């Protein structure tokens, strides 16, 4: 979670004796130290580097170079069961009205042909932090305030910390397998891709992660990419952490990504099926994981699952299926990669929903018109 950049009037939140070497929105020509809570500068005529000490009043300083930055002081201490103390980072695009020089962001996802990027980190021991590559998206071309969708790529995780939400599966992207987490911090939805071990450097197309997020039903091609950032979320310590270099472009034109056409749904039949419905419920919301199993003898080529949600339940986001709700009626359709179910095969999708009143589960499910057994 990140907080807005503010003018120097917010300096009352700084620790005594803070050094402010550059004003908000300045330009770094040589190594520049920033200790202002939300201080920033530009480098390379293309990127913004920000201190972004949003979660603590304790001092933090970064040293900005011509290609990145390093943390030179970090006095904040955050609870490992809560939020980090800051997000010092470098970015392209627009973040809380601060836009990088010459950026073409925000731009609609459907108009992006590629988004090649690269990152090189320096890691340290004895600190609690994550190294994150952040991608922000919103239904509108937003340049200020909180965006509705945050994609976090965790290239390193040190200490007893975890992403927002809970694990929902794995994804193979950019030549690696990532553990995928999904949840909300109360201000925006978050999908996190967590590397199983530290990745010191990586070159990749950010659209691969954006497209996976789109395939999970979290965004559409009409949403806008607003910024891409790389840096660290420290909870405790972190002096010496550095972004050695960062490169990120967003190319428009050329081949426009398209949403795969929906799979053809077979007519209603008697194919046997079972549905397992697993939930995680809290006072005003829940997540549901739905597993469909083909218990019949014929292959299912394209599926549609229909059921009714009890009163007071409203779906707000989904993954691994296209899920729509009209009143209490829910329709879930396969995506391009999970529409075929051989006999005995299973597939899963999930969603997050709000809850008003007592919780209960759907009473019945039909797959392509045939009633399924409850697993």
- SS3 assignment for 117-143: EEEEEECCCCCEEEEEEEEEEECCCCC
- 266 versus 331: the higher-pLDDT residue is 331
pLDDT at 253 over 90: no
Which residues face 346 on adjacent strands? 293
* Peptide bond connecting 106 to the previous residue in cis, omega within 30 degrees of 0: yes
The residues that are catalytic are 150, 233
Question: What is the SS3 string spanning the chain?
Answer: CCCCCCCHHHHHHCCCCCCECCCCCEECCCCEEECCCCCEEEECCCEEEECCCCCCCCCEEEEECCCCEEEEEECCECCCCCCCCCCCEEEEEEECCEECCCCCCCEEHHHEEECEEEEEEECCCCCEEEEEEEEEEECCCCCCCCCCEEEEEEEEEECCCCCCCEEEEEEEECCEEEEEEEEECCCCEEEEEECCCCCCEEEEECHHHHHHHHHCCCCCCCCEEEEEEEEEEEEECCCCCEEEEEEECCEECCCCCCCCCCCCCCCCCCCCEEEEEEEEEECCEEEEEEEEEECCCCCEECCEEEEECCCCEEEEEEECCEEEEECCEEEEECCCCCCEECCCCEEEEEEEEEECCCCCCCCCCEECCEECEEC
Q: How far apart are CA 35 and CA 18, in angstroms?
A: 6
* Residue 232: predicted pLDDT: 98
User: Is the per-residue pLDDT at 30 higher than 90?
Assistant: no
User: pLDDT value at position 254?
Assistant: 54
276 band by pLDDT with thresholds 50, 70 and 90: very high
Q: Mean pLDDT over residues 102-131, rounded?
A: 96
pTM higher than 0.75 for the full model?
Answer: no
Q: What local confidence, expressed as pLDDT, does residue 1 receive?
A: 41
What pLDDT does 128 receive? Answer: 97
Q: When comparing pLDDT for 300 and 135, which is higher?
A: 135
Tell me what the mean pLDDT of segment 286-295 comes to. Answer: 92
pLDDT reading at 23 higher than 60 = no
The pLDDT tens digits of the residues spanning 191-247 come to: 999 999 999 999 999 999 999 999 999 999 999 999 999 999 999 999 999 999 999
């Amino acid at each position: 979670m990140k907080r807005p950049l503010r003018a120097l009037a917010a300096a009352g939140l700084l620790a005594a004796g803070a050094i402010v070497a550059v004003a908000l929105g300045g330009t770094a020509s040589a190594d520049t130290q920033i200790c202002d809570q939300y201080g920033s500068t530009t480098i390379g005529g293309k990127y913004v580097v920000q201190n972004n000490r949003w979660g603590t009043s304790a001092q933090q300083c970064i040293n900005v170079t011509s290609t990145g930055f390093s943390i030179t002081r970090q006095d904040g201490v955050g609870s490992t069961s809560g939020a980090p103390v800051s997000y010092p980072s470098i970015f392209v695009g627009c973040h809380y009205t601060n836009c990088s020089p010459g950026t073409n962001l925000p731009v609609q996802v459907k108009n992006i042909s590629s988004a090649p990027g690269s990152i090189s980190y320096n890691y340290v021991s004895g600190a609690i932090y994550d190294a994150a590559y952040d991608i922000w998206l919103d239904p509108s071309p937003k340049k200020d305030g909180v965006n509705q969708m945050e994609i976090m790529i965790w290239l390193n995780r040190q200490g007893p910390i975890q992403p927002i939400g809970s694990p929902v599966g794995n994804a193979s992207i950019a030549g690696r397998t990532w553990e995928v987490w999904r949840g909300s911090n109360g201000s925006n939805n978050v999908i996190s891709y967590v590397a199983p071990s530290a990745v010191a450097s990586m070159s990749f197309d950010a659209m691969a992660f954006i497209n996976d997020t789109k395939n999970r039903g979290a965004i559409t091609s009409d949403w806008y990419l607003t910024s891409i950032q790389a840096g660290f979320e420290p909870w405790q310590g972190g002096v010496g952490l550095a972004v050695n270099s960062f490169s990120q472009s967003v190319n428009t034109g050329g081949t426009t990504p398209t949403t795969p056409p929906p799979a053809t749904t077979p007519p209603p039949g008697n194919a046997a099926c079972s549905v397992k419905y697993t939930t995680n419920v809290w006072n005003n919301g829940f997540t549901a994981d739905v597993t469909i199993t083909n218990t019949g003898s014929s292959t299912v080529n394209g599926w549609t699952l229909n059921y009714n949600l009890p009163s007071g339940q409203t779906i707000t986001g989904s993954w691994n299926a296209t899920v729509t709700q009209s009143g209490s009626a829910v329709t879930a359709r396969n995506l391009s990669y999970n529409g075929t179910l051989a006999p005995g095969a299973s597939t899963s999708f999930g969603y997050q929903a709000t809850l008003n009143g007592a919780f209960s589960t759907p009473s019945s499910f039909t797959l392509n018109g045939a009633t399924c057994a409850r697993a």
